[in-house]
Chain A
């Protein structure tokens, strides 16, 4: 693999020295482009009290290309499908090289706080969300309890 660009080294250092509250990201020992990520569910969302695991990979063209991010923990969310893939504009067409790992993870945390069932990735979940929001949120809370790790006190 080509040598690691200075930007990735700097970002990694910054993530460790100045972590984002509620988010951790640690590079894999063998591959410094592969990060293990955890995101705490935002307060007052169906995901609060849960800690969700994700994986993040920086492609060779990063930062010209967006990082690849995926949920490893199962989550009931209209914009996240069974495979953990995330429907988020900044990960696709709205990517900009001025964004960073940090900002991407914050965007994902914000997506947990405000699901967007009108631009769904998991169609069944989105339908459920539109038809019966309270029921869908209850199910999301249930899944959070079942699959996500519990937030440390």
Chain B
């Protein structure tokens, strides 16, 4: 049976053989660049493209999911090298080529270059710019329990919690389709008291940072507090919970990157802080790639959020603010011992309100203590950027990179 086609082929006319061969060579042509696939990558849906073409397509993809160009199915698993096709092409090149033929030489040069590009990315473990390693989708199965989960590890995600640039609290994958609940923040939906709570909850990471950045702060006192809360949060990491308070996600995202020192943790807190603020501020000065991606995801988000009912959102919100209040009161106790300036914190909070109403990011810089550590982290304050975005981005990648080990 296995050699039936082999035997038949030998008996065919040249015309039939040519037609078969032509069809095979056609199948080695990429539908994106219309050229031969020297590094054919096969998607889970069975379609093949050049590694380079697929990579470019993913990078320029403006939809929330990565889609197959031919059948539009979501590509959730990293495409694999199709060695069979690659060998066909090599075999055909071996038989058909001659070294002194210019167009053929060009083909060989392209082949070597594309293979090298792939090899290099594979060695560096940066295939497809790590989009599959570092990211996951937030998915909810309404026919099942309807709870939003990380597509990577199935950990439950808090719909109010997951923002772009945010990571799954369990596997650390960046959630790429889900930009969180407050990007279209409507003040009128909240009472004045609730608004205060929200502003307060936004303040926490900044307060921590301010306190530790303050050279006059009582460091011992503060760090012991920090340690105990970190431990507590590490413990919670292992308890599955339906709702994650803001502080959890923030800290856990940091804690899993356990080699980072305290300062890094705080910067990471600021990272989240930034995205929180973005929900309030109509931000159009995202020059960096994170920013453009964030915008993409933000715009793609709303349809996805249909799965969450308003009730759930509010419930989550209350939960969060309650949690934050506890932390805040802890913090003020320490304030009374006199190390962090309570005034500046209040001022900061007021400023957030101002920013919210005026969208004027200049105002915020005014109330900052003139510490470099503070200015450095605010991507809106160009004047105070001692060490601006590149460093920030790098750190971001470091955190993401750690997820690879898991």
| Interaction A to B | yes
Chain A residues near B (Cβ < 8 Å): 5-7, 10-11, 61, 63-65, 93-94, 96-99
Partner of A97, one of B57, B62, B63: B57
Q: Is the CB of B32 within 8 A of A6?
A: no
With A93-B62, A97-B32, A97-B69 known, 20 other A-B pairs at CB within 8 A are: A6-B34, A7-B34, A10-B34, A11-B34, A63-B32, A63-B33, A64-B56, A64-B57, A64-B60, A93-B63, A94-B72, A96-B67, A96-B69, A96-B70, A96-B72, A97-B53, A97-B57, A98-B31, A98-B70, A99-B69
Q: Is B35 in the interface zone, CB < 8 Å from A?
A: yes
Determine if B31 and A5 form an interchain contact, defined as CB atoms under 8 angstroms apart: no
The number of residues on chain B lying at the interface, defined by a beta carbon within 8 Å of a beta carbon of chain A, is 15
Residues of B within 8 A of A64 (CB): 56-57, 60
Question: Which B residues have a C-beta under 8 Å from some C-beta of A?
Answer: 31-35, 53, 56-57, 60, 62-63, 67, 69-70, 72
A5 to chain B: closest residue by CB? B33
With both beta carbons as reference points, the residue of chain B lying nearest to A11 in the complex is identified as: B34
CA distance A65 to B62 in the complex (A): 10
Q: How far is the CB of A103 from chain B (nearest CB, A)?
A: 11
Closest to B53 in A: A97
A61 touches B63 (CB 8 A): no
Residue from B33, B57, B67, B72 in contact with A6 in the complex, judged by beta carbons closer than 8 Å: B33
CB distance from B118 to the nearest CB of A (A): 19
Bound-state CA distance A65–B60 (Å) is 8
Interfacial chain B residues near A94, Cβ < 8 Å: 72
Inter-chain contacts of B31 with A (CB < 8 A): 97-98
Q: Which 4 A-B pairs have the closest CB atoms?
A: A98-B69, A64-B60, A96-B69, A98-B31
A7 with B35, Cβ < 8 A, contacts A93-B63, A97-B69 known:
yes
A-B contact pairs, 29 of them (CB 8 A): A5-B33, A6-B33, A6-B34, A6-B35, A7-B33, A7-B34, A7-B35, A10-B34, A63-B32, A63-B33, A64-B56, A64-B60, A65-B60, A93-B62, A93-B63, A96-B67, A96-B69, A96-B70, A96-B72, A97-B31, A97-B32, A97-B53, A97-B57, A97-B69, A98-B31, A98-B32, A98-B69, A98-B70, A99-B69
Q: Which residues does chain B contribute within 8 Å of A6, judged by CB atoms? A: 33-35
- Bound complex: CA A10 to CA B32 (Å): 12
**Alpha-carbon gap, A58 to B62, bound state (A):** 18
Q: Which B residue sits closest to A96, measured CB to CB?
A: B69
A5–B50 Cα distance when bound, in Å, is 15
Report the bound CA distance from A7 to B57 in whole Å: 15
Contact A61 B60 (CB under 8 A): yes
In the complex, A94→B288 CA distance in Å?
A: 26
What residue of chain B has the Cβ atom nearest to residue A10's Cβ? B34
Q: Which interface residue of B34, B60, B67, B70 has the most chain A CB atoms within 10 A?
A: B34
Residues from chain A with Cβ under 8 Å of B56 in the complex: 64
| A residues in contact with B53, CB < 8 Å | 97
**A65 and B33 alpha carbons, distance in the complex (Å):** 13
Chain B residues with Cβ below 8 Å from A65 are 60
**Closest CB-CB distance, A91 to chain B, in whole Å?**
13
CB distance from A150 to the nearest CB of B (A): 36
Whole-angstrom CA separation of A98 from B45 in the bound complex: 15
Closest to A94 in B: B72
Query: In the complex, what residues of A have CB within 8 A of residue B62's CB?
Result: 93
Residue in chain B with minimal CB distance to A6: B35
What residues on A are CB-neighbors of B32 within 8 Å? 7, 63, 97-98
What CA separation (Å) do A7 and B36 show in the bound complex?
11
B400 to chain A, nearest CB (A): 24
A7 to B31, CA, bound (A): 10
A7 CA / B67 CA spacing, docked (Å): 21
Q: How far is the CB of A100 from chain B (nearest CB, A)?
A: 8
> In the complex, what's the smallest C-beta–C-beta distance from A11 to chain B, in angstroms?
7
Q: Which residues of B contact A96 (CB under 8 A)?
A: 67, 69-70, 72
